[in-house]
Chains A and B, each alone.
Chain A
Amino acid sequence: GQNIDQPTEMTATEGAIVQINCTYQTSGFNGLFWYQQHAGEAPTFLSYNVLDGLEEKGRFSSFLSRSKGYSYLLLKELQMKDSASYLCAVRVIISSGSARQLTFGSGTQLTVLP
């Protein structure tokens, strides 16, 4: 199976930078995803990493180190609307490369304070 760990809660101030870490242990790794979920709403896709390195997308960046089983999501210039749960998810190949499974972490609840 897969084991995904991320902090339960984080707090940061508007305008600041916050880094949300995610560690995973899995076999057949085939990609790592970050999703944002506001309370009572559906998750929305933020980023995807399958190779080592940093992917930047506006105020959000995601980093992956496959050898360390580690990723982080970096949020810059925090805004109040960034208060949400951030879900790390790992995809693995489950059989003969014919199907893939997405396993989500429990999420990090980020609170942005004024």
Chain B
Amino acid sequence: DARVTQTPRHKVTEMGQEVTMRCQPILGHNTVFWYRQTMMQGLELLAYFRNRAPLDDSGMPKDRFSAEMPDATLATLKIQPSEPRDSAVYFCASGSGRLADYEQYFGPGTRLTVT
């Protein structure tokens, strides 16, 4: 049963600390998306990669957020330094080739709380 996995599932940290979230896309999928969901803003696209290259990160605050794909099986989203307004659920999703343009498989999310 192929699934997107994300770690950690929950993270509580203090303001100013660095947070790293990890995502393992479904094996063979070459497109990876990072989303953030809050009650106020809903689901927002932060960044996405195809074949490990960033295609769009316009939704991501550049001063504190960074997203990378060190290899095809790992995507990371880092926040440094974290702030209380970063508290949200962060979802990773993956897709395959052109199908990724319309069918994305979401991971279970990382629930981040910054105090």
Contacts and interface: CB of A to CB of B under 8 A. Distances in A.
A48 interface: yes
Interface string A95-114: 00011111111110000000
Interface string B75-97: 00000000000000001000000
B106 A44 contact: yes
A33 B43 contact: no
A42 B55 contact: no
Contact of B102 (A31, A94, A104): A31
A45 B55 CA distance: 22
Contacts of A101: 45, 56, 58-59
B45 A45 contact: no
Nearest to A4: B42
Interface string B89-115: 001000000000111111111000000
Contacts, number: 47
A99 B101 contact: no
Interface residues of A, number: 23
A94 to B, nearest CB: 7
A13 to B, nearest CB: 27
Contacts of B58: 94, 101
B101 A94 contact: no
Contacts of B103: 45, 48
Contact of A104 (B43, B56, B101, B108): B43
B102 A42 contact: no
B44 A45 contact: no
Interface of A: 31, 33, 41-45, 48, 50, 87, 89, 91, 94, 98-107
7 contacts: A43-B91, A44-B106, A87-B42, A94-B56, A101-B59, A104-B43, A104-B44
